[in-house]
Chain A
């Protein structure tokens, strides 16, 4: 019951929002469409659900062309960023409404049973007799999600459902989602600008950039093998650090030369041509505080430290760019001081400075066998 998308186009006026999207969403996956705000996620979701027509291209549900199938006759549910419930109906009536109008004639007892079940699953059974305006934002959104789930749709589309909730409610619903959808037979398509949400909940992630899905893969592969720079820079909290660096090899070895003349060992990274400028990526988690300025070390300047519990996020300046480092222990250093960090070349990502495509990745990074991988040899 997966979704396949072929060559999907959509423009609003002269603005091309979706520009030839090809996508495969596996059956029963939790598929996150990740992109910054305004990239066309909502439009893509609406076209997939059948609420909005595409200019060109085809959407298949389970291999079946859905172009001429109206949204009313599809087995879909949708949850929006705004909390959409019928304002004059109680939560109970809101939950019952999708069943009451459906083709299959549900008996009154069955409707009541399913309302009760769904309400318990989403922990809103205590507000069933309230109006939507009388409940909190989190409860209103749980009601909207229940409304979508009660039909047991084959496909569920969620468009930034957590965006209007505060931090604590977000966390609560996020863990609910993981629990709920591992049990359901539903294929979930989830749009979010939050890399953290996508990485926490999804089984698969697709990255939307300039009207195209530039990479779609299982979650860990997306994280460990971002094949294009925008994906690398977006997926990760804090984001991956990227520095321009020129690859060279001479009698001292193989190394990257940064703009300030610093040499970083290139380790066993292959498929690099000497004298070429690349973009060198490394994750904040892979930077190690060091005391001796040996080999592969950089000295960024500290802007400020953000400490949550025992983990510190260091915000730093290096060669006119902002870079981040994560440290397991609290860090107490003066703002403006240069901090030595050791980098492991086996955890480097090397991107082409023109196209932004992944050229090489360090050996220590978990690898994935992929048939179309550009760095297969």
Chain B
């Protein structure tokens, strides 16, 4: 009879193993093999991993990925938090703001890519025409810089609302008494933010940062549609690299190994950031 709790967990366990665990094992298996079309797979050991880690294209993609995720976090988190603070806290405008913020989140990734692709087309696009006024020749297909910041702005446009919504919910949950107490203490707006809003939002911010970190690491469809990873490989991120390796290059073994490396990088980064944020601001009161 002691085993009974397990019975209740069984369906969920089955589902999780089918949807996640078994594929993961399969990928681990593939990563050890060299699979070429038309031949029997043969055991390759860690060869695939070594080859990928030594691949300059992979190193480039990883570097771009880290830079991209870093830029995403340092823009979207403060921007989202700022917007959440500025949002009305009650009244009819709350609904309007929430709907407006929700719209980008409702659009599928590839559609977002297509929308921005139309924006940036050299013949009918808004952006090239706009920059033309200022005498700047904007071209997403030939300028690495233009391609980069366009992908970044697209991601900010698409995902900052999520950060806003998370932070807004967190702010609404802070008891008003904290602000009254700060007011009676004559705390300045900055100090109120620093010692009331920020510490009370810590848990919420950890969630927002982790979600955005993991999601930005997984970015695929938007740059794929918008730039196709170019010009050159300047907007090729880890996901693009992986899919090219596995599907485009017919190297399933390498693709599987890339996926695993990719997987561990995401876990590692998330873990480090989580630990850092958990300890951040604990007892940090000395700098007032």
Contacts and interface: CB of A to CB of B under 8 A. Distances in A.
A87 B199 CA distance: 6
B177 A86 contact: no
Interface in A97-142: 97-98, 100-102, 131
B282 interface: yes
A71 interface: yes
A140 to B, nearest CB: 13
A82 interface: yes
B181 A78 contact: yes
Interface string B275-287: 0000001111100
A154 interface: no
Contact of B185 (A46, A49, A98): A98
A84 B282 CA distance: 17
Given A93-B288, A131-B283, A86 B184 contact: no
B178 A78 contact: no
Given A80-B177, A84-B175, A90 B183 contact: no
Contacts of B285: 86, 88-90, 93
A241 to B, nearest CB: 38
Contact of B183 (A72, A87, A100, A147): A72
A88 B202 CA distance: 10
Contacts of A76: 184
B180 A78 contact: yes
B282 A131 contact: yes
B183 A51 contact: yes
Interface in B165-197: 175, 177-178, 180-181, 183-187, 191, 195-196
Contacts of A101: 185-187, 191
Contact of B281 (A71, A88, A93, A97): A88
Given A78-B180, A82-B177, A88 B186 contact: no
A40 interface: no
Contacts of A102: 186
A84 B184 contact: no
B200 interface: yes
Most buried by A among B185, B281, B285: B185
- Chain B: interface secondary structure? helix
A362 interface: no
A129 to B, nearest CB: 9
Contacts of B282: 88, 131
B150 to A, nearest CB: 38
A189 to B, nearest CB: 14
Counting chain A CB atoms within 10 Å of each CB, the highest count among B177, B178, B195 belongs to: B177
A211 interface: no
A145 B57 CA distance: 62
Nearest to B180: A51
A80 B181 CA distance: 9
A76 B181 CA distance: 11
Interface string B198-217: 11100000000000000000
Given A51-B180, A84-B175, A84-B181, A90 B283 contact: yes
A86 B195 contact: yes
A77 B185 CA distance: 9
A93 B288 CA distance: 10
Contacts of B180: 46, 51, 78, 80
Contact of A88 (B183, B184, B199): B199
Given A51-B180, A82-B175, A88 B284 contact: yes
B282 to A, nearest CB: 7
Interface in A56-84: 71-72, 76-78, 80, 82, 84
A72 B186 contact: yes
Nearest to A70: B183
Contacts of B184: 49, 51, 71-72, 76-78, 98
Contacts of B187: 97, 101
A77 B175 CA distance: 18
Contacts of B196: 86
A88 B195 contact: yes
A76 B186 CA distance: 11
A77 B183 CA distance: 11
Interface string B145-180: 000000000000000000000000000000101101
Of A46, A87, A102, most buried by chain B (CB within 10 Å of CB) is A87
Contact of B199 (A86, A90, A97): A86
Given A51-B180, A93-B285, A100-B288, A87 B200 contact: yes
Given A72-B186, A76-B184, A101-B191, A84 B281 contact: no
Residue among B183, B196, B200, B284 with the most chain A CB within 10 A?
Answer: B183
A84 B177 contact: yes
A86 B196 CA distance: 6
Contacts of A80: 175, 177, 180-181
Contacts of A100: 288
B178 to A, nearest CB: 6
Nearest to B286: A93
Residue in B184, B196, B198 with the greatest tally of chain A CB atoms within 10 Å: B184
29 contacts: A49-B184, A51-B184, A71-B183, A78-B184, A80-B177, A80-B180, A82-B177, A84-B175, A84-B177, A84-B178, A86-B195, A86-B196, A86-B199, A88-B195, A88-B198, A88-B199, A88-B281, A88-B283, A88-B285, A89-B195, A90-B285, A93-B285, A97-B195, A97-B288, A98-B184, A100-B288, A101-B187, A102-B186, A147-B185
Interface of B: 175, 177-178, 180-181, 183-187, 191, 195-196, 198-200, 281-285, 288
Given A88-B199, A88-B281, A101-B191, 9 more contacts: A72-B186, A78-B184, A80-B175, A84-B175, A87-B200, A89-B285, A97-B195, A98-B185, A147-B185
Q: Which 10 A-B pairs have the closest CB atoms?
A: A88-B199, A89-B285, A87-B199, A93-B285, A80-B177, A72-B186, A86-B195, A84-B177, A84-B181, A101-B186
